[in-house]
DNA sequence: ACGGATTCCTGATGGC
DNA sequence: TGCCATCAGGAATCCG
């Protein structure tokens, strides 16, 4: 599922394909994919040029504007922003000429004959359009406005202050997008394993030096995953349709019952914060942290 | 203010 | 082989 490293990879592979291209048409095959709705979405998107591609947390952002001198820009607010949340199975794929793909919910037709497909098997994802730039209408979206800081832009002190508080379980803090933006089930499990902390430890009970280790584990895991173009369990692909490789480095996620890569004892699964969480009871002990 | 359950959705998987 | 239950999960929403 696309978390921070996957969305970052999509942004990097998408940018050279779509930046500088004009959105000529929005073909909506599934109205529920577009917020606030297909007509409003198209009104903000069509005619504008994609200026740049970015990411915030798990959101993929397309910044739009008019080309200088474009007649359509006269009297219209120039900026707009598209945000895609891919949830579990969403994909943004640049289709090669003649290429088709499954489960397309929205097709953006760009200048130069480029087609950008939003495909999404389980239809949990969505694409949102807002007037203005990053300081514009998107700030009225609670989910965006309440996003916590980027884990790769934080320092240890801020991470410890935000994550290491309360009686909430540590993993719930990592998954809470208002605490830190971009971490999902995979990277939460991987970071906790590397830091030697159990997912169900009350966040406030973790000593600062252990939280410091967790901070560095989070950053290391995210950086390595980005370097490997993300994790492809089943559905994730980059903008070219290529799989990532970080799934080959999993030491916790999805390894319940398998031997711990550090001590050889069987990994345990347990439900924490509503998600399956895999950890090693010996290497991630609840007591004596 | 917290955890938990439920909803959304489809495909893979396992038991019988 | 076929059928049914279960599981996968990000975030909104409701409930205790």
DSSP string for residues in A91-124: EEEEEPTT---SSEEEEEEEGGG-EEEEEETT--
pTM, 2 dp = 0.95
* Annotated catalytic residue within A67, A275, A281, A285: A275
**Helix H or strand E encompassing A1:** none
> Is residue A75 scored above 60 in pLDDT?
no
Render pLDDT for A212-247 as a digit per residue (tens, 0 to 9): 999 999 999 999 999 999 999 989 999 999 999 999
DSSP-derived pairing of the beta strands A80-85 and A275-279: unpaired
A58 is catalytic: yes
Nucleotide nearest to A203 (CA to C1'): B2
Task: Quickly state the pLDDT bin for A78 (edges 50, 70, 90).
Answer: confident
Taking the stretch 94-123 of protein chain A, residues with Cβ within 7 Å of any atom in nucleic acid chain C are: 122
Bases on strand B under 7 Å from any protein CB? 1-6, 8-12
């Amino acid at each position: 599922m696309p978390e921070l490293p996957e969305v970052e990879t999509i942004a990097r592979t998408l940018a050279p394909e779509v930046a500088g291209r004009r959105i000529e048409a929005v073909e909506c095959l599934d109205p529920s994919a577009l917020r606030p709705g297909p007509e409003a979405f198209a009104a903000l998107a069509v005619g504008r040029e994609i200026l740049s591609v970015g990411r915030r947390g798990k959101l993929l952002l397309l910044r739009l504007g008019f080309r200088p001198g474009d007649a359509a820009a006269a009297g219209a607010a120039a900026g707009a922003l598209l945000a895609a949340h891919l949830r579990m199975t969403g994909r943004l794929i640049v289709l090669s000429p003649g290429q088709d793909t499954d489960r397309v919910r929205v097709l953006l037709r760009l200048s130069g004959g480029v087609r950008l497909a939003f495909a999404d098997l389980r239809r949990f994802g969505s694409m949102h359009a807002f007037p203005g730039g990053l300081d514009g209408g998107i700030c009225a979206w609670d989910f965006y406005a309440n996003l916590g800081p980027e884990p790769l832009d934080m320092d240890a002190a801020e991470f410890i202050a935000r994550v290491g508080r309360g009686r909430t379980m540590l993993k719930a803090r990592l998954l809470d997008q208002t605490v830190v933006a971009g971490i999902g089930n995979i990277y939460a499990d991987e970071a906790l394993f590397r830091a030697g902390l159990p997912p169900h430890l009350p966040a406030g009970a973790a000593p600062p030096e252990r939280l410091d280790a967790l901070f560095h584990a989070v950053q290391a895991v995210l950086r390595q995953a980005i370097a490997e173009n993300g994790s492809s369990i089943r559905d994730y692909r980059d903008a070219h349709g290529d799989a990532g490789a970080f799934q080959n480095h999993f030491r916790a996620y999805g390894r319940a019952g398998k031997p711990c890569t550090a001590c050889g004892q069987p990994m345990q699964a347990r439900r924490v914060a509503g998600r399956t969480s895999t950890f090693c009871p010996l290497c991630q002990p609840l007591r004596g942290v």
